[in-house]
Structure 1
């Protein structure tokens, strides 16, 4: 039995869909009653659980032998996920598949990249069998910029850096194959989309998808911070995003393209152009 954390995320939803379609034994963990009911109406075993409440996680794990571990970036991520790994070990979980990040590094100035590296180290030292997935930046991140994009602008601080943006659904697809096959333990997989794109490329593909010219505006950091804060990002998230794009992306430190998604799934990763077309209504309104 697999416990799927982050079951309501794009990654988790795709993973749950594939597990259900292929009649694999799993349980979806979610935070809210309405999410719980939605899963149960689909015939999916679901349970309430919260990373900040280890006892709820302990209860959710009962009867499972495998854990899919993913959580959103926040200031408590390191504490929450290391505790989750500790609880998993106490409850005799035999295998953990974890979503990390391609830029994870113990010395990183990007807060979640540093946290991911510490969690990865904790998992590898836990004695539990593991597989670590390290995706690059998600295509879905651009859905947080729909308002300026709809007005014809793509604001960023990414300079001319290139990123192999990945659709989060492809990460869910990889997770399904890793969780249901036997030969992935102690492996670390770097995951990316099919092409390396700069912000001008993104703007061009968005323009084509929505039939309106989108212009990339490379903002100074202070201006991008103001924009992020105005759109609801916390100070921690805004500062981290600026550090990520200004240091990792603009200075060309993002990892190069690989073929792991296709190798693991026999399925070509989705292009940004296809992603933009599917979400054109969101980008144009």
Structure 2
């Protein structure tokens, strides 16, 4: 049985959908009671679990042999995922598939990119079989900017940097194939979408999808920090996002476009145009 952490994320939802449709044995882990009830209403074996709670993780893993490990960027991510790996090693887990990041680097100034690198090293050293998925930036990140986009502008600090944005649903699709096929252990896969885009390209694509002009506005870092803080981002998150976009994206994070998504799933990764069209109402009606 597979334990799916992050079951309510876009990646987790797509993975659970595919596992359910193909009648694979899995258990979905979530943190909140309302999420638990929603998953169970969909007929899933769902449990509450928190990366900060070793005993809760231990309970969630009971009867499982495979762990899908994913968590959002947070200040406790390094210790939380190391704890999950430790518990998995103590229980009956024999294989871990983990979502890392394409910019993971032990010396990165982006806190979660550095954490990802440390976690990847820790998992490899655990002695357990593993597979690491390293996606580029998610297309879903643009959904955090629906308010200004609905008003006709996309504020960012990404400059002219290029990124092969990937739809998080494609990561879930890759995870399904890796988890249910037997020949991916000790493999690291870099995942990207079908094209590289800069912020101006993204704004233009969204504009075509919604039938309304959207202009990319390159902000100085201090102004972007104010915007992020005003929309509820913590100081830690705001500083990390500025480092990620101003230092990584603006200076180009355009890995050569590989075809890992197509090779692993048999499906072409979704384009940014498809993503923008699917989320048209969100961009229009904030």
**Fold-level match, TM-score > 0.5?**
yes
Q: Following the alignment from structure 1 to structure 2, what is the Cα–Cα distance between the partners of residues 233 and 257?
A: 31
The answer to whether residue 174 in structure 2 is matched with residue 179 in structure 1 is no
Query: What's the counterpart of residue 59 of structure 1?
Result: 59
Displacement of 1:92 after TM fit? 2.6
Query: What's the counterpart of residue 41 of structure 1?
Result: 41
- Partner SS, residue 68 of structure 1: strand
The answer to whether residue 250 in structure 2 is matched with residue 250 in structure 1 is yes
Q: 1:1-285, aligned counterparts within 5 Å? A: 1-285=1-285
**What TM-score, normalized to structure 1?**
0.99
- Partner SS, residue 142 of structure 1: helix
Q: Following the alignment from structure 1 to structure 2, what is the Cα–Cα distance between the partners of residues 64 and 201?
A: 44
Q: Across the two proteins, how many residue pairs are aligned to each other?
A: 285
Deviations 1:165-188 (A, max 9, x none): 000000000000000000000000
Q: Following the alignment from structure 1 to structure 2, what is the Cα–Cα distance between the partners of residues 103 and 223?
A: 25
Displacement of 1:256 after TM fit? 2.5
Deviations 1:106-151 (A, max 9, x none): 0101100000000000000001100000000000000000000011
Matched-pair contact (CA < 8 Å) for 1:178–1:184 = yes
Q: Following the alignment from structure 1 to structure 2, what is the Cα–Cα distance between the partners of residues 192 and 200?
A: 19
Q: Following the alignment from structure 2 to structure 1, what is the Cα–Cα distance between the partners of residues 74 and 39?
A: 25
What RMSD in Å do the two structures reach over aligned CA positions? 0.7
Matched-pair contact (CA < 8 Å) for 1:19–1:176 = yes
Q: Structure 1: which 5+ runs fail to align? A: none
Matched-pair contact (CA < 8 Å) for 1:99–1:134 = yes
**What TM-score, normalized to structure 2?**
0.99
Structure 1 stretches of 4+ with a deviation exceeding 6 A read: none
Displacement of 1:38 after TM fit? 1.4
Displacement of 1:254 after TM fit? 4.1
Q: Following the alignment from structure 1 to structure 2, what is the Cα–Cα distance between the partners of residues 253 and 277?
A: 25
Q: Which moved more, 1:271-280 or 1:251-260?
A: 251-260
- Partner SS, residue 27 of structure 1: strand
